[in-house]
Amino acid sequence: AGYHASSSSTARPPIGGKMEDVKLAKDSLIDYLIFLAERRKNGDEAGDDGAAAREEVPEPLRKFEGSLAAGIATSSAVSYTRLGLTNTANNCYLSVVIQAILPCNALMWILRRCSADDPRRPVFSCMVSLCKEFHTRKPDSHGDVLNLLVMNQVKEVVASWQRLGAQQDAGEFFFWLLSQMHDESKWKVHVPADPAEGTAGEAGEEEDVAPSAWATLVRTSRRAVETRSAGLHEDSPITRTFGGLTQSAVRTKGAKVDSVSLEPFNHLDLDISAPAVTSVRAALEAYCSAEEVNDGQAVRRMQFKLLPKVLVLNLKRFSFVKDMGGPQKIQKAIKYDEKLTLDKAWLVDETESPEYFMTAVICHHGESVHKGHYTAIVRYNAEWYMYDDTCVRRLEPREVGAQQYTVYLLVYQSRGTVDMT
């Protein structure tokens, strides 16, 4: 299994607790990534011919030197133990999310190099401890049962989640978990000032600004385009793995400038309420279709500027229905495929879609928004397994795609590497 977490302090206050006077061992992969980001920033700001960029790596972090040169493989053969998870407190939403992320090799690679007891990063530490349970058991332990809620770290994370007043929703918990891990491992991105920023140009001029500019006016021979970004000044290993960028272009009648905004995402919410939406591809087509906004005075078009290594799709099965007086579950079949490639029309400029392959399906069973049960179907190398609380059973390939009325969340991975440098 080879699952060895970095060492750290044994003093661990609860989530949101104070950490004054706690001695920290800054020796995890996250500390190394933050050090590299700070060193790059210092080098950019100093403009001193790279002297700042050659700042010596602290001794506790030298063990990571060279480990990121080839990138982190997004997919790899898995060898963790397939465990059933006890559902003693309506926590099936938690269980299916854990089962769904176990095949995410890049995330597991990062967790193996982080501390299981880092007071600065309680959610990361919890995930290290939790995933270690799956990776360090004997090979013949498949089918054993684990009770997540006997682990203090898990109880603290769940309590933090519940203090938000959140429902027991697998999707909301999944996205909160990614957001928390991002916040615990993020670093600032240095954005150099653009001399063209804030200026207006007339149509007919040549393009003079790089497409990746953060906030600028791009002048092309066809039309001026004002590009704005939202929340693009932070980075993290979670963003590098699950993060992408959408581009929203708005063309207003009579305006000389198109407004283009870039928006980061770690999952996609896909509306499936329209009668014509009967598949994931149809939902993505609707997501990227042009729509009238501002009372018909403008047209907005959504495209993908950057695609994530791990793509999480949320089929919006729960929506507010005015005539019904509240939220209702959309009970319809949605077709999904084991492989997914995004259409060229959905992509910006030279962006190319990798071929994604499905690694997990989370299903919601039940007719009500307020109650139900979650199960997960998860790829284990060439095989598929159904996880229904403590029950774990192998599925035939034909069964994997037969959850069209209950499919709620889909996890797709691409092949290749995640660049963390």
3-state secondary structure 102-170: CCCHHHHHHHCCCECCCCCCHHHHHHHHHHHHHHCCCHHHCCCEECHHHCHHHHHHHHHHHCCCCCCCH
Tell me what pLDDT residue 278 has.
97
Q: Where are the alpha helices (DSSP H) in 316-390?
A: none
CA distance 361 to 407: 7
Residues of the chain scoring pLDDT < 70: 1-25, 45-54, 190-232, 320-326, 369
Strands 407-414 and 356-365: antiparallel
Tell me what pLDDT residue 257 has.
80
Give the CA angle between residues 102, 104, 108 to the nearest 5°.
Answer: 75
Give the residue among 185, 130, 126 at the shortest CA–CA distance from 160.
126
Strands 257-265 and 224-229: parallel
Q: Give the tokens for residue 65.
A: 């030197």
Q: Which residues contact 94 (CB under 8 A, 6 or more apart)?
A: 148, 154, 158, 173
Quick one: the chain helix, strand, coil %, rounded to 5?
30, 25, 45
Using alpha carbons only, how large is the chain's radius of gyration in Å? Answer: 23
Whose tokens are 């994370």? That residue is 157
Residues recorded for the chain: 421
Whose tokens are 């690679």? That residue is 109
For every residue of 11-75, DSSP letters joined together read --PPTT---TT------SHHHHHHHHHHHHHHHHHH-STTTGGGPPPPGGGGGGTTTTTT-EES-
Please answer whether residues 158 and 151 qualify as being in contact, where contact means their C-beta atoms are separated by less than 8 angstroms: no
Tell me what pLDDT residue 419 has.
95
Please answer whether residues 169 and 317 qualify as being in contact, where contact means their C-beta atoms are separated by less than 8 angstroms: no
Tell me what pLDDT residue 216 has.
38
CA distance 259 to 221: 16
Strands 257-265 and 84-85: unpaired
* CA-to-CA dists, residue 284 to 52, 287, 333, 341, 351, angstroms: 45, 5, 16, 11, 16
